[in-house]
Chain A
Amino acid sequence: MTSNLHTFKALDIAEKIRGNKLTSEEVFSHFAQRSRSFQPKHNIFVALCAQAVQRTQSARNILAGVPIAIKDNICIEGQEITCGSRILKGYVPAYDATVIRKLKENGLSIVGVTNMDEFAFGSSTETSCYGPTLNPWDRTRVPGGSSGGSATAVALGCAPIALGSDTGGSIRQPASFCGVVGMKPTYGRVSRYGLVAFGSSLDQIGPFSRSIEDCAALLTVISGHDPLDSTSALEPVPDFSSFLRDDIRGLRVGLPKEYFMAGLHPQVLARIQDVITFLRDKGAIIQEVSLPHTPYAVAVYYIIGTAEASSNLARFEGVKYGARVRADNLIEQYKKTRGAGFGKEAKRRILLGTYSLSSGYYDAYYMKGLKVRTLIKNDFDKAFNDVDVILTPTAPTPAFRLKEKVDDPLSMYLSDIYTISANLAGLPAVSLPCGFSDEQMPIGVQFIGKQFDEGTLLRVGYTYQKATDWHTRFPAEIA
């Protein structure tokens, strides 16, 4: 009965548990077993968890009993968390992140902690101190990053849903590379308390799932104002499932011309054009828009993001937690601990951030970056006067091969070109699987919405998934 449980939606699994057709122990055991079996070939997890005792269930528990995978940068009390880094080896959080507390209160259990690029610095999960996670569809390719482990876990049915974090595309791009749904909520929609910070003005925790229904349900559970996160929005949380309607008649969809330039993989373009045709056939109004400052987005991100990262990672110096390299004086201890504990990409980003914040360069780089950020945000505000949602490819190519970009950081950075602007502007965005390349690798379509308008993104996703089945597919090794 349970042998194909991973083909079910999380919501349907929860319904079977409520109807006493399944127990939560059976469900957990099924996904724990799958996780263990795929771990050696794909290196998805940093840790596998035993089933926790469930707390008293609240009234709204449409996901109660469902196991979920959690990225290695979200604090779980009593569970070692390392952010894919040697420098945090042995760190055991004394508290649950707010999103973890909410999951537990709603009766979900954690099946495992997933692999990630070190401190979320990366687009391929190759900078993890545990080695890369291998793409669920082709083990010679990357799963994307930095939430590569979470995306792979959902793609392989190790967990029906997962949480990741997204600072420049780290949920959406791996979702695209792995053929699953991944959403970055509006900045401030989900509490960052307990998320190890990378870019404090850019980071958001968000859901991975196979279906848009599960995405909506999980988003509802984790969203909400949190007094422990002073950047969390006071915006009330709707029941996001109420937006799931098969109707996009009259929806105004914008295609930013700057996103459809040279360098876009031909099959990515072809699949996106299929999506555009579908939307038009369902009554959406397609129009071209312009986001003229798009070419500057990557540069702005690598100033602001690295500046914020250099500040946020100053706390990792071997004093209060994690690994320590001993020395005779404190400054030497900092230098040796950080020299030994951080990987190359982490060092590169901290150095870049330190440089752009340093005396004499602060105005030329950091302030300049913040001003161009305003221009990028203004582009979106202007476009959203004419359209309700913006459609783009999620990534310029399908998943690239392992090691293809590790020696060329700038090339790696440019693979984020379509996802970064949504973080800079604080807007919600979702990636949906929309087909495969000629080499059978997944391709994702991205929808960017107005601030706090996850609802429209969910409606578009629902309409699309009602008519397609990309999101139900599993890699051949599972079928």
Chain B
Amino acid sequence: MVSLYAMKDYREIVHYVANLARIELTAEEEELFAPQFQKIIGYIDTLNTLDTIDIDPTFNIIALKNVLREDIPQKNEAYQKIISNFPQKDGNYCVVPKVID
């Protein structure tokens, strides 16, 4: 597997990342995105001028931790409505193509 580090060409990077994100891009889209990506990443790289060695990351602005609830089973009245959204179904099952082997 090729590492992102090895890629120099932004078109290659866009293609590789699109595969990770499971999005099929057209050739035109890759052509369009590559320079935009480069410009945006270049802008974001300005963060490297900041020294953050001793700074803690902020994951959660509200500082809640381990919000738990009691494990009390409840009836789900909505399951038929959920099933009705399946693009392809067989009874109560959602139908999908086989996973790649």
Query: Does A associate with B in a complex?
Result: yes
Chain A residues with Cβ below 8 Å from B48 are 364, 368
Please give me the residue from chain B that is nearest to A369 by CB atom: B47
B27 interfacial by beta-carbon distance below 8 Å:
no
Q: Does A338 contact B (CB under 8 A)?
A: yes
A347 and B87 in contact, given A326-B97, A368-B48, A371-B56 (Cβ under 8 angstroms): no
- Residue of B26, B40, B85 near A91 (CB, 8 A) is B85
Query: Smallest CB–CB gap between B25 and chain A, Å?
Result: 6
Evaluate contact between B62 and A360: CB separation under 8 angstroms: no
Interface string of B1-32 (1 = CB under 8 A from A): 00111000000011001111111111001001
The complex places the Cα of A287 from the Cα of B86 at a distance, in Å, of 57
Report yes or no: B61 in contact with A187, Cβ–Cβ below 8 A. Answer: yes
Pairwise interchain contact B87-A324, C-beta atoms closer than 8 A: yes
- How would you classify the secondary structure of chain A's contact residues: helix, strand, loop or mixed? helix
- Residues on B with C-beta less than 8 A from A375 are 50, 52, 55
Alpha-carbon distance A348/B17, docked complex (angstroms): 11
**A92 touching B20 by the CB < 8 A rule?**
no
Which A334-351 residues have a C-beta within 8 angstroms of B?
334-336, 338-340, 342, 344, 347-348, 350-351
Does B22 contact A331, Cβ atoms closer than 8 Å?
yes
B contact residues around A344 at 8 Å (CB): 29, 32
Whether the Cβ atoms of B13 and A355 lie closer than 8 Å is yes
Are A347 and B25 touching (Cβ within 8 A)?
yes
Contact A335 B81 (CB under 8 A): no
A212-220, A299-307, A432-440, A466-474: which one contacts chain B? A299-307
B binding-site residues for A, Cβ under 8 Å: 3-5, 13-14, 17-26, 29, 32-33, 36-37, 39-41, 43-44, 46-48, 50, 52, 55-62, 64, 67, 69, 78-79, 81-82, 84-88, 94, 96-100
Query: Which residues on A are within 8 Å of B, measured CB to CB?
Result: 77, 90-92, 94-95, 187-188, 201, 227, 230-231, 233, 293, 296, 298-300, 302-303, 310, 314, 317-324, 326-336, 338-340, 342, 344, 347-348, 350-352, 354-356, 358-361, 364-365, 367-375, 377, 409-410, 413, 424-426
Q: A94-B81, A373-B57 given; name 19 further pairs at CB < 8 Å.
A: A90-B87, A188-B62, A233-B62, A299-B46, A303-B44, A310-B21, A319-B87, A330-B97, A331-B100, A338-B23, A338-B24, A348-B37, A351-B23, A368-B52, A371-B57, A372-B52, A372-B55, A375-B52, A425-B61
Please give me the 5 A-B residue pairs with the lowest Cβ-Cβ distance, nearest first. A370-B57, A426-B61, A339-B24, A94-B81, A94-B78
